[in-house]
Amino acid sequence: MEKKRFPQDFIWGAATASYQIEGASKKDGKGDSIWDTFTLGKGNISDGTNGDVACDHYHKYLEDIAILKELNIQSYRFSVAWPRIFPEGFGKVNQKGLDFYQRLVDSLLEAGVSPAVTLYHWDLPQKLQDIGGWENRDTISYFEEYAQQMFQALGDRVSMWITHNEPWVVSINGNFFGAHAPGKKDFPTALLVAHHLLVSHGKVVQNYRQQNQKGKIGITLNLSPTYPYSDSQEDKKAAVLEDGFLNRWFLDPLFRSAYPKDMLELYQPYSDFSFIKNDDMEVISTPIDFLGINYYSCNVIQYDESNEFKTKHVIRENVGVTDMNWAIYPSGIYDIIERINREYTTKDIYITENGAAFPDIIEKDGRVHDQKRIDYLEKHFSYLHKAIEKGLPLKGYYLWSLMDNFEWGFGFSKRFGIVHIDYQTLKRTIKESGYWYQKVIANHSL
């Protein structure tokens, strides 16, 4: 088979998030986050675990950076734990928390790995939740204060910033499904939270520009192409609604300065949208430098009378699934990039997360033979290659995840890493997929 070559300047990265890997949950003055609280709730985490220790990356970051280097990984996407910087949410800065990220960034640069920083990957300071969290409009300005602090501290060395990771998950999983912190189950609250997240994003982008910072700033959305299960009018309509719920509710405000009309109508019984203030939509659509897309799977949607929004997710027969029971659908990564470019923005696109969970084990030879993950990645990479061939502005890819970690409501029961973590000993073992990725990067080709 002919080799699929990637451009020399295509960025190959790996991603993690603070609460999922750092541990040291009470160390050096860190305040609690909503995940420290949520994990205490009975039944919230399927295996009853929490992120108190996780991968202990807070202490083992040098070992982890050595792995990044060994695997040729060019860029590392991580997030900052807001309550390490502001234990109270705002006001007094915790210098020791800041120092950790200074050390991390300096060590990454020394290893030749460029840092990509996510400001909010879900660990809101509990102190802010106590006064309403993202439902409280004041949280927007606290987020600005925190972002400002991070730009000041790291802006000279970090050239890629992501304001929010997956505002859909934050608002919907956290406030409508109740499956994530803070664990609410109220759709109007989710709409309010989503709006405040979006406004806070726009404000922070504006602040970044005002400071003449040299790097690039964008946002990461979890996007999935949404296909109707059948050709029936009902299924088609259901797929359009699901697309509105998941994708357009965030894409339209960011790139068209308005919420989608059909969804506003549908949501009317839940909200009067009085939370949309004067110039909010303009703020939200402040131009960004790139869009980050997290892609794991597609959505196949069927009309369902019994469901509140009349939609139901189905997995087609003969489709492989990962350990999350997510359908493996590699061409969807191409479809979503192509669509964004055609319908929303011609700006740069990064895949900021993509990967798969499988129940990996260390075998007798001491290695982790995760061939299924390699297959998953290889198929997705071939569609990334197609996107580049077609001239789409795809500039880089971040694999989720560098290492096995705390998978939110599933605790440590799901392994996404290309590095295996033994949670008893915290030993790191590079999986076969890690060595495979190392070669792809070295050869710039599949």
Q: Choose one: 25-33, 379-387, 390-398, 400-408; the region binding ligand FCB (CB under 6 A).
A: 400-408
How many other CB atoms sit within 10 Å of the CB of residue 141? Answer: 12
Per CB under 6 A, the list member of 36, 353, 370, 404 interacting with ligand FCB is: 353
First-to-final CA distance of the chain:
10
Query: Of the candidates 309, 264, 286, 120, which has an alpha carbon nearest to the alpha carbon of residue 207?
Result: 286
Q: Which is nearer to ligand FCB, 90 or 120 (CB)?
A: 120
Per CB under 6 A, the list member of 381, 400, 412, 436 interacting with ligand FCB is: 400
CB of 405 to ligand FCB, least distance (A): 8
CB of 264 to ligand FCB, least distance (A): 26
The question of whether 166 is a catalytic residue gets the answer yes
The question of whether 308 is a catalytic residue gets the answer no
Residue in this structure with the two tokens 């998941």, named with its chain if needed = 246
Is residue 76 close enough to count as binding ligand FCB by CB under 6 A? Answer: no
Which segments of 42-81 does DSSP mark as H helices, in order? 57-70
Size of the site for ligand FCB (CB under 6 A): 12
What tokens were used for 310?
């009349």
Q: In degrees rounded to 5, what are phi and psi of residue 396?
A: -175, 170
Per CB under 6 A, the list member of 227, 295, 408, 412 interacting with ligand FCB is: 408
Catalytic residue of the set 22, 242, 353, 407:
353
Q: Distance between alpha carbon 255 and the CA centroid of its chain, in Å?
A: 19
How far apart, in whole angstroms, are the C-alpha atoms of residue 87 and residue 85?
A: 6
Which segments of 134-275 does DSSP mark as H helices, in order? 138-154, 167-168, 174-175, 187-210, 233-243, 249-256, 261-267
Q: Which is nearer to ligand FCB, 94 or 222 (CB)?
A: 222
How many other CB atoms sit within 10 Å of the CB of residue 392? Answer: 18
Is residue 407 close enough to count as binding ligand FCB by CB under 6 A? Answer: yes
Q: Which is nearer to ligand FCB, 15 or 254 (CB)?
A: 15
The burial class, CB within 10 Å (0-12 / 13-18 / 19+), for 97 is buried
Q: Which is nearer to ligand FCB, 17 or 73 (CB)?
A: 17
CB-based contacts of 313: which residues, under 8 Å, 6+ apart?
Answer: 299, 300, 301, 302
How many other CB atoms sit within 10 Å of the CB of residue 409? Answer: 21
CB of 294 to ligand FCB, least distance (A): 6
Q: Are 126 and 36 in contact (CB under 8 A)?
A: yes
**Interface with ligand FCB in residues 217-246 (CB under 6 A):** 222
Nearest-CB residue for ligand FCB:
17
Q: Are 255 and 285 in contact (CB under 8 A)?
A: yes
How far apart, in whole angstroms, are the C-alpha atoms of residue 417 and residue 357?
A: 8
Catalytic residue of the set 166, 308, 343, 363:
166
Per CB under 6 A, the list member of 294, 322, 341, 345 interacting with ligand FCB is: 294
CB of 423 to ligand FCB, least distance (A): 17
CB of 231 to ligand FCB, least distance (A): 31
Is residue 73 close enough to count as binding ligand FCB by CB under 6 A? Answer: no
Is residue 416 close enough to count as binding ligand FCB by CB under 6 A? Answer: yes
**Interface with ligand FCB in residues 155-174 (CB under 6 A):** 165-166, 169
CB of 116 to ligand FCB, least distance (A): 14
Interaction mask 13-42, ligand FCB, x per CB under 6 A = ----x--x----------------------
The full DSSP string for 157-168 is T--EEEEEE-HH
CB of 142 to ligand FCB, least distance (A): 22
Binding site for ligand FCB (CB under 6 A): 17, 20, 165-166, 169, 222, 294, 353, 400, 407-408, 416
Where in the sequence numbering do the catalytic residues fall? 166, 353
